[in-house]
A and B are shown apart, each in its own frame.
Chain A
Amino acid sequence: MSTTAPAGTASQRGAVLGICLAVLGLVVGAVASVFIGVSDVTPATLWSDDGHARQLLTVSRLPRTVAILLAGACTAVAGVVMQMLVRNRFVEPSTVGTSESAALGLLIVTIWAPGMALPGKIGVGAVFAVAGTCLFLLVLRAVPIRSVVTVPLVGIMLGGVIGAVSAYIAFRYDLMQTLSAWLTGDFSGVMAGRYEMLWVVAALTVVVYVLADRFTVVGLGRDTATALGLGYRGVMTLGLGVVAVTSAVVVVVVGALPFLGLVVPNVVSLLRGDNLRRSLPWVAIGGAALVLVCDVVGRVIRYPYEIPIGVVMGVVGAAVFLWLLLRKAPDVG
């Protein structure tokens, strides 16, 4: 569990090796997932038939798998960033109203500016996501926090209120189905031309990794960050921006992936700690792997029908969340 070796090259090499192995495992899983589905896409049909399988592969299966990996990795990273910013283990975009706010923004732009290009819509969603997260932080300041669990509870309630507003509007404008597509993650609609925005989010995740130390310092608290000469406000703003854009894009492209950003960072924290420079690759890999597994489960459990990943994720995530809450809490919240 704890490594006693100094931060020397040996342990670093071990860490890199571990990450390489994990990535390899992820790739194998991803390749396998490409060949799971109703239509007959196998290595054999790819070469033999009239090109139907190949087309299916490039238009649907590959984009879907890439979307799974990117959305999983980026959502998990957004979760850990938010945990650093709020300094609470149990927050993530879906437990503080960020995802719901993004969906509300998308709903409003869909109603009043339906012709807007996708990046513009996502931008509006991201602005709403920032606003919703700031509202959460303001509420947090006003509410006396007696335990670490209070924070996500406040967030879930806030998300519920925002969700209710969205539902009301969606109901009036007959957009309930659209709204539920945003709030329930589902990869079955992912196709070439509809998922590429995820690469933008992947780039943001790389930025987070480059600045990993700043986010860890922010996680040490405002006073410590100030004492160490870090521009606290700047990192806070940047972090909120990353989380908001990630949430908005993921909500649009695949729909919310509940608990992902919470479960993966917490498990990684138990195994590897929270020094983001060291743990972030594991968070990203873990996020991608968990989504990959949940997606395959959703596809095979009622074959040939498909259960949306949001549902699978919700069940798995809620169970792990409960376990995290109920396990003997260490004295450091």
Chain B
Amino acid sequence: MTVPTRTRGAIAATGLTKRYGETAVVDDVSIELPAGGVVSVIGPNGAGKSTFLSMVARLLPMDAGRVVVDGDDVATAPGDVMARRLGILRQDNHLAVRLTVRELVTFGRYPHSKGRTTAEDRRHVEDALDYLDLTDLGGRFLDELSGGQRQRAFVAMVLAQDTDYVLLDEPLNNLDMVHARGMMRLARRAADELGRTVVAVLHDINFAAAWSDRIVAMKDGRVAASGTPAEIMRPAVLGEIFDMDVAVHQIDGRPVALYYT
């Protein structure tokens, strides 16, 4: 996708706040995520990661603050323009309608095709299916698939949307080791080869450390820490974020956190 003359920018949140009653789930978050690369958002349950991502993707109205993506405020920019710039995989992908995998992925092209699929749309769909190892399952109905296969189908849909920014809310849900690694590899490729910006909420900090350029840690609705994996993967920093002792070892030159015992 071409980004016009405007400075190819970033996702910039200023004073972003979401309250439910008295509690601020996301509390005055200001952060800029420059375009390019893979950004992981980590943090304990209830830290506000998903809420933050939902507001960036304009699925949830904010109580205060604003989000600007490539110079446009997501709250006021036309919906179909944003849909060609920013795609999101949500956590809860429960469908009431019965679609085949290929049909679902084709709906990822809706912002471009408006329902009239062209040869280019079909190419994007087949590429996305291929990326996620779903070509053979293309004609199957989603309710005939396993949880992991379905998760991959939804990721393929977001990929087919062909947006500069790809937000993934817990993309590793339901995935076994093979496909979890495959998913992170895919995120990496999307960033490196296709120039996408991938922002993923992850629970496994070792996956975050291994595959991202930058880690943003949230806690109690605020950004607790932000930096390169090397900066975040330190016992003091992780201990502060998760309120538990986390040992970090260097294995084959990578930081690996041990928190299982």
Q: Which residues of A contact B (CB under 8 A)?
A: 1-7, 83-84, 87-89, 148, 212-214, 216-217, 219-221, 223-224, 226-231, 269-270, 273-275, 277-278, 330-333
Contact = CB atoms under 8 A, between A and B. Distances in A.
Task: Give the interface SS of chain A, mostly helix, strand, loop or mixed.
Answer: loop
Given A213-B110, A226-B79, 8 more contacts: A4-B139, A148-B96, A212-B115, A221-B96, A230-B110, A277-B115, A332-B96, A333-B94
A83 B96 CA distance: 9
A153 B143 CA distance: 24
4 nearest A-B pairs in the assembled complex, by CB-CB distance = A229-B83, A213-B115, A229-B80, A4-B139
Contact of A273 (B59, B96, B141): B141
Contacts of A273: 97-100, 103, 141
23 contacts: A1-B141, A2-B100, A2-B139, A2-B141, A7-B102, A84-B97, A213-B107, A216-B107, A219-B96, A221-B96, A226-B79, A227-B88, A227-B90, A228-B110, A228-B161, A229-B78, A229-B110, A229-B111, A230-B79, A274-B98, A275-B103, A331-B143, A332-B98
Interface in B106-150: 106-108, 110-111, 114-115, 117, 122, 126, 138-144
A275 B98 CA distance: 7
Nearest to A269: B98
A273 B84 CA distance: 27
A7 B100 CA distance: 11
A230 B80 CA distance: 7
B79 A274 contact: no
A157 to B, nearest CB: 21
Contact of A3 (B114, B115, B122, B139): B139
A270 B95 CA distance: 15
Interface residues of B, number: 41
A121 B17 CA distance: 49
A6 B137 CA distance: 11
A273 B142 CA distance: 10
Contacts of A269: 98
Contacts of A212: 115
A77 to B, nearest CB: 15
A87 B97 CA distance: 7
A227 B161 CA distance: 10
B26 interface: no
B57 interface: yes
B118 to A, nearest CB: 12
Interface in B49-86: 54, 57-59, 78-84
A274 B58 contact: no
A230 B111 CA distance: 8
Contacts of A214: 115
Contacts of A213: 107, 110, 114-115
Contacts of A220: 95, 97, 107
A219 B87 contact: no
Contact of A332 (B126, B139, B142): B142
A213 B58 CA distance: 22
A243 to B, nearest CB: 17
Contacts of B126: 6
Contacts of B114: 213
A15 to B, nearest CB: 13
A3 B144 CA distance: 13
Given A213-B115, A331-B143, A332-B142, A229 B95 contact: no
B100 A88 contact: no
Contacts of B122: 7
Contacts of B80: 229-230
B111 A228 contact: yes
Nearest to B126: A6
Nearest to A148: B96
Contacts of B115: 212-214, 277
Contact of B59 (A6, A223, A278, A331): A223
Given A87-B96, A226-B58, A217 B143 contact: no
A226 B59 contact: yes
Given A212-B115, A213-B114, A229 B100 contact: no
B2 to A, nearest CB: 17
B138 A4 contact: yes
A88 to B, nearest CB: 6
Nearest to A83: B96
A88 B83 contact: no
Most buried by A among B87, B88, B98: B98
Nearest to B111: A229
Nearest to B158: A227
B59 A227 contact: yes
Contact of B83 (A3, A83, A228, A333): A228
A229 B94 CA distance: 19
A277 B110 CA distance: 13
Contacts of A270: 98
B134 to A, nearest CB: 12
B142 A7 contact: no
A330 B106 CA distance: 23
A227 B95 contact: no
A236 B106 CA distance: 22
A95 to B, nearest CB: 15
